[in-house]
Every structure is written in structure tokens, then in C-alpha cells.
């Protein structure tokens, strides 16, 4: 029996090893579990983060041996995070913040991208693959540095990260362009994130790399990027029960600031595995394509693209939504394929009434402007002394609105990045002086908030810029072909 099938063709089947190595299915679809496993919360209440990850991933990636899963989880989570809990849950006024920014690049992407390279190399060995693997990744800010950090100096792999020129924060860019490692590079692209992501997807279908090299992905289109994120929904719930004395079995609502839909989709899978999740609330910035979709069932990217102070969510084409479409359309691959073809050809599609009912039974959406985001940063800090970044602030704003309409619910906001990655925007929200370079701002913000910046950001201060390449959308394939062999065989 197949472990994974393509969202666009159920006959495009793969076991977990091949799904991880391939990244995308051959037909351009995304791999989805042939059946979603069960994991009662009672089974993990006494487990650490690492042990919980082992349970989740053993179920989600069944062809991996337990030994390979266990080694991968231990190598990822025992050594690469500033806190033993990996993703601590912090009480804040009427809700909780799930802090996902304690990894080496200070954003939630570290949780999955610290383990993905380990799973990929073990999958490659398990199927006897001798080809080198070139990772192609588009980033709206955080995935790039986390992927480069995860894959740096991993034998038999190379990685190229494309990011929109002038479309990420100063610290996000510094994290990528100063990243050491012989097998990696970051390249600025003249365009926005959707342009970068679209070009990468096209290369997976059409680019023939040099002999002995295969393409794969570190974006959340790869099931081994998505599956590890399920773990922190379980550990958040576990902490609510064990540390905050919540009644076991009570529903918890999760508010997720998201643009590419992977982070919130992990919560959907956690719910389908048996975690007592109530609503999954999508918090959007001015690029509100997801919020509009949840409200209407119409996905329409034919709209203005907004550059906001929460740049990791500046996305109009949300790749992981295709997986939700598959489930909402009850596994009908032909319908999903038609939706994706229509999106490519016309820029929009509309789901069936039954699919919209399915989606709205699980999800809600809210959208906010930059001014709303700044107001929330200021409000949360003035009321609680808790410093949040502009993405988390969108989530907190959605939490405020949701709880005002649904009082008494237990709500968890996913805090997706350190505020020090976006010091200028946070300081502007707090009416602080934003003169000086990124590190001068970070120092002033730290002094003002009496909060130390992450060690990983402080280390960037004297880091040398190593990656200065720029290219156009049209020349991305040429760039990849020219870099492939050098990076994979560094």
C-alpha cells in the first residue's frame, strides 16, 4: 500500500523515503499521506519534545526505521536550540504564545529545517541513491537562512536559496548572505516571493541538472518539512495540561500567522491525528488571499502585491493550500488538478460548496494592516511587557478579535520569529528612534525592552558577507545549472 500519493494523481505513489527525496511529485503535485495516522495526546503527555517528535515522525514517515527517526530527532533537537523545550509555551494575558524562535536562525522554520537534512540523507541511503542532491528553495525571509543552516556542509548535497531583492528584513538578509559553508549560496532575485517560488517550481518540472545530481526541496512542499511541525502542536497541548492545569480533552484553538499555509496545515494534520484542536485561525497581513479564500472558497491571486512589515507573509500563491484542497475535496485528484491548472492559466479557482463547508468547519481567517500590526506590538508590550515581532503581532491581533467573539476559549498564538529580526519595525511601533544600522537598533531595542537578543543574532554583528549574487527570474535556471556541480561536490 502506498504511503504517499500526489495531490494531482493518486497513481503517483511513493513511500516516505522517495517522497522526502523527491520533494515534489513527478506530476508537480504535493505528496499527501495515503492515510492519516492516529496519535492520542495521552500517549505523549510524559514525553520530552524530542521523544514526541520521534512518535509523530515514526507515524508520518512510516518507511523510515525507528532508529533513523530517533537519530535524526536527537541530532536536531538536543543541540541546536537555546531552550531545552525547543518550543516553550508562555502565558500572556488571555492567551498563550508558542515561542518557535529559539533555534539558530531565530524563526519557526528552524524546527523543521534542523531535522530535514538528516531525514533526507538517511532517505537517500535507504533507497541506495548515489546521486548528489541539489536543494532549490525560494524564501520570503526565514526559510532561506534556516535551510542554509540545516544543509551547510552536509555531504552529497548543495543548496541554492533565492530571495526577493529588497523584500526581506536587514537581519534576514544578513543571515543568508553571511552564512558559511562550501555547499551553499543565496541569490537575490529581481521580483517578489511568488516570482521566486513559481520559478523554482517550474525548474522542478523542466530543468535537467548536470549528470549525477537530482533536485529536491527544503520548502514546506517537502513532506519532511511539514511533518516535523506537527510536533509542536502536541507539545503545546501537553504543556497546557501539565504546566497550566488545563483539563485533558479540552479543545484548544490555534492562531497562526501564515502566508504559505504550511505552519497552519501542520495543525490540521495534528487535529486529524487526534489532538483536541478546535479552530485553526489563519492570520493574514494586507496580502489577504488566504483569508478571502477561507471566507468565500475563491482563490484569486489577481490582486495587488503588498510589501508589508511582516514580509515572511507577503505571499499570494500559497503552496501548501493544495494539500488542504485535496482533503477538502475528499481526495479527488482530478478536481485538485483542475484547480491548479486554472490557477496557472487564469489566476483563480473556486472550490465546490462541499469543500468550502469542509474548510470552514476547520478554519477561520482574519486580516490586518501594517497599522493594526504596529498597534498590536505597542499594545502587547505596554500591557504585558512582552515583545513580539510583526508576524506574531498579526497573530495576536487575530486572537484579540477571535476571543472577543468567542469568549472563554483556550487560544494559543504561534510566535513565529524573534522580534530582533525585525527591530526597525518593532521600534517604529514603539515610537523609538530607528536611526543607525541593524545592530545599533537591536542594542537600543534590547535596552528599552530589558530583553536580550538571541545569541545567534548577536553573532552576525561581525560576520562577513559571502553571498552577493543577483539574478532575474528568467535567468534563474541558467544560474542553477552553473552552480549545481560546484556546490554539490564542494
DSSP string of 352-418? Answer: -HHHHHHHHHHEEEEE--HHHHHHHHHHHHHHH-----HHHHHHHHHHHHHHHHSTT--EEEEE-B-
Residue showing cell 503535485: 29
CA angle, corner 98, sides to 249 and 416, nearest 5? 135
Q: Which three cell numbers stand for residue 232?
A: 509542536
First to last CA, the chain: 39
Count of structural domains within the chain: 1
Pairing of the two strands 411-415 and 252-257: parallel
Sign of the C-alpha dihedral computed for residues 289, 292, 294 and 300 taken in this order: negative
| Residue 350, H or E segment | strand 348-350
Pairwise CA distance, residues 112 & 99, whole Å: 14
Angle, helix 262-273 to helix 321-328, in steps of 10 degrees: 40
Residue 1 has pLDDT above 60, yes or no: no
Give the per-residue pLDDT at 446: 97
CB atoms within 10 A of CB 160: 26
Is 159 exposed, middle or buried, given 0-12, 13-18 or 19+ CB atoms closer than 10 A? buried
Catalytic annotation, pick one of 54, 109, 271, 421: 109
C-beta of residue 106 within 8 angstroms of C-beta of residue 130: no
Give the per-residue pLDDT at 458: 86
Look at residues 188, 190, 87, 71 and name the one whose alpha carbon lies nearest to residue 119: 71
Residue 17 lies in a domain: yes
Residue 139 lies in a domain: no
Task: Give the mean pLDDT of the chain.
Answer: 96
Residue 490 has pLDDT above 90, yes or no: no
Give the per-residue pLDDT at 371: 98
Mean pLDDT, residues 142-161 taken together: 94
C-beta of residue 262 within 8 angstroms of C-beta of residue 229: yes
DSSP-assigned letter for residue 311:
G
pLDDT tens for 79-123 read: 999 999 999 999 999 999 999 999 999 999 999 999 999 999 999
Mean pLDDT, residues 220-234 taken together: 95
Residue 335 lies in a domain: yes
Mean pLDDT, residues 233-239 taken together: 98
Residue showing cell 501564515: 258
Which structural domain, as residue segments, surrounds residue 375?
Answer: 1-107+224-461
Give the per-residue pLDDT at 140: 87
Query: Residue 133: pLDDT band by 50, 70, 90 thresholds?
Result: very high
Q: Is 307 a catalytic residue?
A: no
Mean pLDDT, residues 297-325 taken together: 94
Least confident of 166-170, 217-221, 285-289, 327-331: 217-221
Mean pLDDT, residues 214-227 taken together: 92
Look at residues 200, 74, 64, 80 and name the one whose alpha carbon lies nearest to residue 121: 64
Q: Which three cell numbers stand for residue 407?
A: 469568549
Residue 473 lies in a domain: no
CATH number of the domain within which 426 lies: 3.40.50.1100
pTM, two decimals, is 0.95
Residue 355 lies in a domain: yes
C-beta of residue 96 within 8 angstroms of C-beta of residue 411: yes
- Could you give the percent of the chain with pLDDT greater than 70? 100
Report the Cα 468 to chain-centroid distance in Å: 25
Look at residues 178, 93, 102 and name the one whose alpha carbon lies nearest to residue 144: 178
Is 468 exposed, middle or buried, given 0-12, 13-18 or 19+ CB atoms closer than 10 A? exposed
Residue 141 has pLDDT above 80, yes or no: yes
Residue 170 lies in a domain: no
CB atoms within 10 A of CB 239: 20
Residue 303 lies in a domain: yes
Residue 408 lies in a domain: yes
Mean pLDDT, residues 222-237 taken together: 97
pLDDT tens for 397-441 read: 999 999 999 999 999 999 999 999 999 999 999 999 999 999 999
Q: Which three cell numbers stand for residue 354?
A: 462541499
Contacts of residue 227, defined as CB under 8 A and 6 or more positions apart, other chains included, come to: 56, 57, 60, 61, 112, 266, 269
Amino acid at each position: 500500500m502506498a504511503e504517499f500519493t500526489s495531490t494531482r494523481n493518486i497513481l503517483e505513489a511513493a513511500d516516505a523515503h522517495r517522497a522526502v527525496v523527491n520533494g515534489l511529485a513527478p506530476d508537480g503535485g504535493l505528496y499527501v499521506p495515503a492515510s492519516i495516522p492516529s496519535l492520542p495526546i495521552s500517549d505523549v503527555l510524559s514525553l520530552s519534545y524530542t521523544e514526541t517528535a520521534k512518535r509523530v515522525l515514526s507515524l508520518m514517515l512510516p518507511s523510515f526505521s525507528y532508529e533513523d527517526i530517533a537519530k535524526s530527532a536527537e541530532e536536531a533537537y538536543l543541540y541546536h536550540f537555546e531552550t531545552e523545550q525547543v518550543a516553550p509555551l508562555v502565558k500572556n494575558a488571555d492567551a498563550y504564545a508558542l515561542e518557535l524562535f529559539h533555534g539558530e536562525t531565530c524563526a519557526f522554520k528552524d524546527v523543521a529545517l534542523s531535522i530535514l537534512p538528516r531525514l533526507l540523507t538517511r532517505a537517500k541511503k535507504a533507497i541506495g541513491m548515489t546521486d548528489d542532491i541539489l536543494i532549490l528553495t525560494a524564501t520570503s525571509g526565514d526559510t532561506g537562512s534556516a535551510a542554509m543552516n540545516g544543509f551547510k556542509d552536509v555531504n552529497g548535497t548543495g543548496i541554492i536559496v533565492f530571495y526577493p531583492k529588497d523584500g526581506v528584513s536587514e537581519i534576514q538578509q544578513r543571515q543568508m548572505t553571511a552564512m558559511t559553508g562550501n555547499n551553499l549560496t543565496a541569490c537575490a532575485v529581481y521580483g517578489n516571493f511568488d516570482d521566486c517560488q513559481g520559478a523554482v517550481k517550474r525548474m522542478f518540472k523542466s530543468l535537467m541538472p548536470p549528470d549525477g545530481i537530482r533536485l529536491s526541496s527544503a520548502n514546506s512542499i517537502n513532506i519532511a518539512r511539514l511533518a516535523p511541525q506537527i510536533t509542536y502542536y502536541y507539545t503545546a497541548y501537553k504543556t497546557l495540561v501539565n504546566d497550566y492545569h488545563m483539563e485533558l480533552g479540552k479543545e484548544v484553538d490555534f492562531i497562526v500567522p501564515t502566508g504559505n499555509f504550511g505552519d497552519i496545515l501542520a495543525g490540521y494534520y495534528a487535529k486529524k491525528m487526534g489532538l483536541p484542536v478546535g479552530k485553526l485561525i489563519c492570520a493574514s497581513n494586507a496580502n489577504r488571499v488566504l483569508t478571502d479564500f477561507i471566507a468565500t472558497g475563491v482563490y484569486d491571486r489577481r490582486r495587488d502585491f503588498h510589501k508589508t512589515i511582516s514580509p515572511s507573509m507577503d505571499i499570494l500563491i500559497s503552496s501548501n493550500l493544495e494539500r488542504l484542497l485535496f482533503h477538502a475535496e475528499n481526495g479527488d485528484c482530478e478536481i485538485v488538478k483542475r484547480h491548479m491548472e486554472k490557477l496557472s492559466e487564469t489566476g483563480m479557482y473556486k472550490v465546490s460548496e462541499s469543500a468550502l463547508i469542509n474548510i470552514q468547519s476547520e478554519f477561520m481567517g482574519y486580516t490586518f494592516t501594517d497599522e493594526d500590526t504596529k498597534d498590536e506590538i505597542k499594545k502587547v508590550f505596554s500591557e504585558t511587557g512582552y515583545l513580539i515581532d510583526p508576524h506574531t503581532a498579526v497573530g495576536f491581533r487575530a486572537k484579540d478579535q477571535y476571543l472577543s467573539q468567542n469568549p472563554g476559549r483556550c487560544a494559543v498564538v504561534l510566535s513565529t520569529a524573534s522580534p530582533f529580526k525585525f527591530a526597525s519595525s518593532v521600534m517604529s511601533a514603539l515610537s523609538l528612534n530607528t536611526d543607525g544600522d541593524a545592530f545599533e537598533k537591536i542594542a537600543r531595542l534590547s535596552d528599552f525592552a530589558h530583553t536580550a537578543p538571541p545569541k545567534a543574532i548577536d553573532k552576525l554583528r561581525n560576520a562577513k558577507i559571502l553571498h552577493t549574487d543577483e539574478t532575474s527570474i528568467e535567468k534563474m535556471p541558467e544560474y542553477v545549472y552553473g552552480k549545481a556541480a560546484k556546490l554539490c561536490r564542494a
